[in-house]
Structure 1
Amino acid sequence: MKTLLIDVWKRLTPWSKTTDVYANDIDNAYPERMDRLINNSVTAKSAAAIMVQYLLGKGYGTDADGIIINKEKNLKLIDFADDVADDLVKQRGVFIHINWNALYQIADCSVIPYEWCRIGKKDTNDYSGKVAISKEWLKPKRTDIQLIDIYNPRKKVIDAQVEKAGGWEHYKGQVLFINMDTKLIYPLSRIDSVAEDCDSESQASVYKNRLLRKGFFGNTLVVTRPLVGEGLEPGSRALLDAETEREAFQKAIKDSLGAQNTGGVLCLEMDFAGEKLEDAILIKQIESKIDDKLFNYTETSVRENILVAFNNLPAGLVKTNESALFGNSGEAIREMKRTYWENTSKERNLLTAVLNQLLQRSQDYSSLTVQPLKLIEDAAPDNP
């Protein structure tokens, strides 16, 4: 008796000698693949947008939301927070570029697209001092890879980096890497465990679309006895008259079935036995091959799995059809919101800590501390 061993797919991070970075999976395209799976899945994309909103809450107050933290890009704090939250939700990690001034204060910061970044070689202390940035990692050129120092706010470290760069005017700044999987070189995406579910939801839509666009669904099949007799000479007057009558008959059939069916009628000629009318012509509607029950079960199953991956996002916060909206009481919706606010507390606290860490070292807002406003107010106390 043989034992069947099932290989479980695992994301690997091998060292790439050609680029001097740790590859993010064998093909070095894990971030792009996860992002594409999320965008192709309506549930995952909706869930990610909702989770980002729960990390931001109602913002940090009008005054704080509008402060500019990157003058060159005219980037406001709330927009920067949204960029950070988006990568924390989808990739569970984020790369933030930081520029220092000569007073060792943060002059500006911005989020680098996650898929552009890779970690450089580690030293004997298991520390990576560089982040490699490139817009293309499938077949990158060394000349297109930019190396930037990892975040370290110590003055001695910054001085050494500035000196090595040839002065402040040549200094590229640092990159702060937030990794929610501290035991891994790169974090696993939030949808890593439900990647196939995201793909299944996408492929189900593709399959149904192809059936509707290219299949026989909704067509009418008309079968008749041969309309052009055998033995007629090619090019003869009799053959031309018979073919003209065939075209007129087929056009009459299509017109009789309605304009909406034009182009959806298949005419087939074949020999029939018997002399009755029903033996001479057959009209049959081709039914859909889409199994609604099977698709409903599959789509419901993958949707539930995806929502669990996004910190147990309640389905009632995702569905927007009227029956789902009015099927829940106001209190039920509020309870879902309160529950999900608690479910996302870890990521929200991380986002808030990152923002305050950067603000405290900024040149203009070192005294500012932000805290997200709740999306739903606490229940009012009972009247005495």
Structure 2
Amino acid sequence: MRAKELRKRSKKRVDISYIHTLGIQSYGDDNLYPQVLRNIIAASPTGTECANRLADFIEGNGFREVNFSEYVVNRRGDTTDDIHALVCKDVADYKGLSLHLNYNMFGEICELNFVPFENCRLFGEDENGYISKIAVHPDWTGKKIRKGKAILVKKENIDFIDVFNPRKEVVLAQIEAAGGIEYYKGQILWLSMDGNYVYPTGKADSVVTEMCTDEGLSNVKYRNVCCNFLPSGMMITKKGASIDTDDDKSNKNEDTGFSDTLVQLQGDTNSVKILEVEITTEEEKPEFIPLKSNNYDKEFTVTDASTVERIYSSYGQEPWYCIRIGKVGFSGDILEDAFEYYNSIVSKQQRMIERAFQKIFENWYEEVNPSNDFSVQPLKYVRNAAVPNNNGGGI
């Protein structure tokens, strides 16, 4: 089919509109795209595993410059390494980052703080298409509680902070406009991998349907084990006989004929019991009828496999998927190759983060990284080294 014939099927992944009451661009039709995406990833076992692995590889072993990684950047005592770890998680999930910068009275950056990317929204564009501020709210769902009250999404609860521009004349003008350094809110460095001041689609966006399916399959497995009826059989006896369940003697219900409620025959902890049913007709001997329960796991085997494969593929983690299903062996060489392969996959995200820190510390009030090296040490697979014994030899 031609592209124009498919346009009705294809839709924008992130709907953007203008919220007049707040003066911001909405991130999704409900302004909660990153929150919804985060919850979908968290509910999917496979999605969570892949997202965490991506974040770990982006973070690597931290900055190469050890002294720089240990440098304290704010009054809370956070180091650059602490901030870097938080940023990597946002880049992995949302393909974006946001950092708050405070300035001193000389127009120099003197403090760096992490701002969750999901807390930021873009201000409306002016007549020249320029976005001058970032709107920051602690919880755009309006459910966060402080001092016993919910922080509603109102203009008075939103901080509108200037976008990053480290030029001293700009910073000093902003300080003066705010009424002094004590009233100045600083700046926000907001970056998106999808473009300059463009809301990014998350890494998991293309497989959100598969992640929801993954969550549903987990629910089916849980209910199949914990809520299915799993008796071994049914004993039919003459009225008045007394045959109880194999491991629990409970009170009989004369009206229904069951020894106890159905709950006692449901789930994994009550599996392989015997159900007793009393009948009123004459019988020469008790009759045992074996029962077979339905195993719903088998109904979703193909769906489960294809769903997991697509999630792994969207994150570029095919080597780990092949190891998981036994397509390739589990050896040090294979894992070493997998680590090297995935380090090349995350290099783009690492470079974006490196450039962000470089922009900040080029304008820091003191020199903290003389080498100007903001690169990250990649993760490497460490083989188990031989442990020497008491005689100095290897084991």
What interval of TM-score do these two structures reach, taking the shorter chain for normalisation? 0.7 to 0.9
Q: Residues of 1 paired with 2:333 and 2:57: CA distance? A: 18
Match of 1:267? Answer: 276
- How many Å separate the matches in 1 of 2:247 and 2:206? 54
* Alignment equivalent of 1:121, drawn from 120, 124, 129: 124
Matched, 1:188 2:190: no
Matched with 1:330 is 332
Other-structure match for 2:362: 360
Aligned-pair distance for 1:224? 1.7
CA shift in 2, pair 1:289/1:154, >3 Å? same
Work out whether residues 152 and 158 of structure 1, in 8 Å CA contact, stay in contact via their aligned partners in 2.
yes
Greater helix fraction, Structure 1 or Structure 2: 1
Aligned to 1:168: 181
One-letter code of the match for 1:54?
Answer: F
Alpha-carbon distance change, 54 to 252 in structure 1, aligned in 2, over 3 angstroms: closer
1:36-115 matches, cutoff 5 A: 36-61=39-64, 62-70=66-74, 72-115=75-118
Does residue 1:13 correspond to 2:16, yes or no? yes
In 1, Cα distance between equivalents of 2:82 and 2:49? 19
How does 1:291-302 map onto structure 2 within 5 Å? 291-292=297-298, 294-302=299-307
**Deviation for aligned residue 1:130:** 1.1
Q: Tell me which of 136, 142, 146 is aligned to 1:133.
A: 136
- Distance in 2 (CA, whole Å) between partners of 1:69 and 1:97 is 11
Tell me how far 1:301 sits from its aligned partner.
1.6
How far has the Cα of 1:202 moved from its partner? Answer: 1.2
Q: 2:234 aligns with which of 212, 217, 222?
A: 222
The match for 1:143 is 156
Equivalent of 2:374, from 365, 370, 373?
370
1:32 matches 2:35: yes
Which ranges in structure 1 are unaligned for 5 or more consecutive residues? 228-241, 378-384
1:104 Cα shift? 2.3
Maintained 8 Å contact 2:100/2:187: yes
**1:215 Cα deviation (Å)?**
2.4
What letter is aligned with 2:119?
A: W
Partner of 2:243, secondary structure, is helix
CA distance in 1, matches of 2:378, 2:119: 33
Which amino acid in structure 2 is aligned with residue 25 of structure 1?
A: G
Separation in structure 2 between the aligned mates of residue 171 and residue 252 of structure 1, nearest angstrom:
74
Confirm or deny: 8 A CA contact 2:191 2:197 kept in the other structure. Answer: no
Local SS of the residue matching 1:118: strand
User: CA offset at residue 201 of structure 1?
Assistant: 1.0
Q: How does 1:176-325 map to 2 (within 5 A)?
A: 176-182=189-195, 185-216=198-229, 218-225=230-237, 227=239, 242=240, 245=241, 248-251=242-245, 261=270, 264-270=273-279, 277=285, 280-292=286-298, 294-310=299-315, 312-316=316-320
Which 10-residue stretch deviates more, 13-22 or 297-306? 297-306
* Cα shift readout 1:123-180 (whole Å, capped 9, x = no counterpart): 1111111111112324512221111111111222212211111100110000111011
Once the two structures are TM-superposed, the CA of residue 209 in structure 1 deviates from its matched residue by: 1.1
Distance 1:31 1:168 in 2: 33
Superposition deviation, residue 181 in structure 1: 0.8
Question: In the TM superposition, what is the alpha-carbon distance from 1:193 to its structure 2 partner?
Answer: 0.5
Between the aligned partners of 2:197 and 2:170, the Cα distance in structure 1 is 25
Once the two structures are TM-superposed, the CA of residue 37 in structure 1 deviates from its matched residue by 1.2
Task: Give CA-to-partner distance per residue, 1:249-301, whole Å, 9 cap, x none.
Answer: 2246867xxxx6489544334577x9564xx5233233242233x43432322
Number of residue pairs the alignment of both structures matches: 347
Percentage identity across aligned positions?
Answer: 24
**CA displacement at 1:351 relative to structure 2:** 1.4
Alpha-carbon distance in 2 for matches of 1:359, 1:184: 22
Deviations 1:15-55 (A, max 9, x none): 11222211111111110011111111222222222222222
Deviation of 1:317 (Å): 7.5
Q: Deviations over 1:43-94 (max 9, x none)?
A: 2222222222222222224323211122x12111111111111111100111
Partner residue in 1 for 2:148: none
Partner of 1:349: 351
Give the structure with higher Rg (CA): 1
1:155 aligns with 2:168: yes
